[in-house]
Structure 1
């Protein structure tokens, strides 16, 4: 009996020590390195901005690359500088091959940047029950999502989608005399969706959009001449959310800016992409939208939240930037509503906070 009593005493004495085991498990979780695979199609500056915003959000949530976070990035590129041809079938096959490799790598999370990577990788990643977060997608439904807020099973993210009617309203405030806008785009999914939204919103606002489809390897100049010279001609050019303008070292964007300056035509961009010569920028900021995707990824990694329960996030109020030098060259007088909410942003641009 004395031996039994001694054993029981030792057992009860050990209970307080056992109570600390969950803390030890938490400590092990804190030292874990999370693995993220990043997949994108084409290598353009806005996609880098998206990733920068994504990683910044993770750092804010104590997920730091090189410490407790490992990031492997794949850029599917067509080497457009050397005349590669954009093939939808080629894109599909290469994305699916990379998605299969990612599944074998068994990361904790997959980040897809842009519509093609999201659209064609999501099914394979979802079947492997690996959380997928996307960013830099203009219209989530074009990437297989249920709606603008519901990404569907195993997926969440952030979208560049913005209310085009609001963007058109900003354009009208600055250029009340403009009735016809020219837009050049390619078969880029984001570009097609963006132009369609612009056509609809501009029509409701009493303006018309003349759009032209070109190949990603085409020079933009002949199309600009055609739009400018046809009939009464366009009074302004607008840049959609299309990778075309980021290729060939921004050749199309630069040529568009030069053409506008030579003919005293304003150039506006309905996406936050660098367009030398543009006087107005209005749309969603890639860095901010990437940051929103990072917020969702942090919840998935740190709290083990299922992607399905997290809505697609988007920038609620569009960013509005004005190049003061181009505005002066075009003799544009800023409306009082713009002047009242003007501040100097990066690159010397004026930022107009219409949310105030």
Structure 2
């Protein structure tokens, strides 16, 4: 009987404890924290891509996913000689993208972030076959990257786009520079540049404006084309910079030359993309950092809740950011309409930020 007494006493003691005292430990305290593995793939290493990448990581961090804590990132930048361009150079970059996509598919990361159109377009099929979720960012036109539409990424893919309505952007240009009738645009064979110019040409007509465009090689100086667009009866009264890598080469040489020409000849320069263009008086477009942050929102849903990319729509910055350079406007002797002055909301690195809502009232 003595042998049975101790177990019975212990059982009675446990029964007397309050119920919360014998609850099992939560599972999360017993499990090893999961480390998310993310692969990143891009073609070329340019400043705007870094801004998009930073925005992506910052959003993940806000969602509790951070490097050094529970996130491991492997970033691959495929070299591409932007200046040389050409078929064989492009083919070499394409092959490298596909090789990296095959490697990533074999390692089965939790997610792949593709930055830019080429990386997204040429990697997505391989990753889809391997059932690896893909999130893209810094893509100007989703359909050019193999997406079904502006909001549907297609099987296994979602992300964020730089797309903004070109007509909305040109309406803003017209609001600030009401006397503009013909805009000159210089671009290369860059996919985004070609698409931007085509969209601008289509959108300008209903607004009573016209686009005159010239294509140059990435190794060419911009100055001869700038002068040519100012000659004859169809001379342009403004220059607009498309989303084209040409303007970032040689320490922004083309952008600087265009801006200086505009200053000396009293011709405004505007940029239809939020990339650094020294000499631009007006910036209208989506910001790479904000678009990268939107991709981070989608990635967090996939990583934390195992949401399928297919059900997540492509996100975009709904209203373009509008920045004015007051010093450049003063150099051009541009007098702003009162409604534009009233739309100023803040100052950012010397630029005036304007309210889209106030300007469109």
For residues 242-266 of structure 1, the C-alpha deviation after alignment (integer angstroms, 9 at most, x for no partner) is 1221222222212211221222110
SS of residue matched to 2:93:
helix
User: After the TM superposition, which residues 147-226 of structure 1 pair with which residues of structure 2 at under 5 Å, given as runs?
Assistant: 147-226=149-228
Residue in structure 1 matched with residue 17 of structure 2 by the alignment: none
For residues 127-152 of structure 1, the C-alpha deviation after alignment (integer angstroms, 9 at most, x for no partner) is 11111000111111111111111101
Please point out which of 92, 97, 106 is paired with 1:95.
97
TM-score, structure 2 length as denominator? Answer: 0.89
Please point out which of 138, 144, 147 is paired with 1:136.
138
Change (3 A) 1:27 1:335: farther
SS of residue matched to 2:51:
helix
Change (3 A) 1:250 1:26: farther
Unaligned runs of 5+ in 1: none
Aligned residues: 347
C-alpha deviation, 1:106, in angstroms: 2.1
Unaligned runs of 5+ in 2: 15-19
Indicate if the aligned counterparts of 1:317 and 1:355 stay in contact, CA closer than 8 A. Answer: no
CA distance in 1: counterparts of 2:273 and 2:290, whole angstroms: 13
SS of residue matched to 2:41:
strand
CA root-mean-square deviation: 2.5
Residue in structure 2 matched with residue 332 of structure 1 by the alignment: 334
Residue in structure 1 matched with residue 291 of structure 2 by the alignment: 289
SS of residue matched to 1:195:
helix
Residue in structure 1 matched with residue 263 of structure 2 by the alignment: 261
| The 10-residue stretch of structure 1 (101-110 or 312-321) with the greater mean CA deviation from structure 2 | 101-110
CA distance in 2: counterparts of 1:93 and 1:17, whole angstroms: 61
2:32 is the alignment partner of 1:24: no
CA distance in 2: counterparts of 1:113 and 1:340, whole angstroms: 37
Indicate if the aligned counterparts of 2:41 and 2:76 stay in contact, CA closer than 8 A. Answer: yes
Residue in structure 1 matched with residue 36 of structure 2 by the alignment: 34
Larger-gyration structure (1/2) = 2
Change (3 A) 1:217 1:85: farther
C-alpha deviation, 1:93, in angstroms: 1.2
C-alpha deviation, 1:344, in angstroms: 3.2
Residue in structure 2 matched with residue 299 of structure 1 by the alignment: 301
Residue in structure 2 matched with residue 117 of structure 1 by the alignment: 119
CA distance in 2: counterparts of 1:53 and 1:230, whole angstroms: 45
CA distance in 1: counterparts of 2:354 and 2:318, whole angstroms: 15
C-alpha deviation, 1:17, in angstroms: 11
TM-score, structure 1 length as denominator? Answer: 0.91
Residue in structure 1 matched with residue 109 of structure 2 by the alignment: 107
Indicate if the aligned counterparts of 1:253 and 1:275 stay in contact, CA closer than 8 A. Answer: yes
Change (3 A) 1:230 1:115: farther
2:76 is the alignment partner of 1:74: yes
CA distance in 2: counterparts of 1:77 and 1:265, whole angstroms: 36
Please point out which of 223, 231, 234 is paired with 1:232.
234
Indicate if the aligned counterparts of 1:38 and 1:112 stay in contact, CA closer than 8 A. Answer: yes
CA distance in 2: counterparts of 1:235 and 1:59, whole angstroms: 46
For residues 195-214 of structure 1, the C-alpha deviation after alignment (integer angstroms, 9 at most, x for no partner) is 11111111111111011122
Indicate if the aligned counterparts of 1:182 and 1:211 stay in contact, CA closer than 8 A. Answer: yes
Change (3 A) 1:187 1:17: farther
CA distance in 1: counterparts of 2:30 and 2:192, whole angstroms: 44
C-alpha deviation, 1:84, in angstroms: 6.3
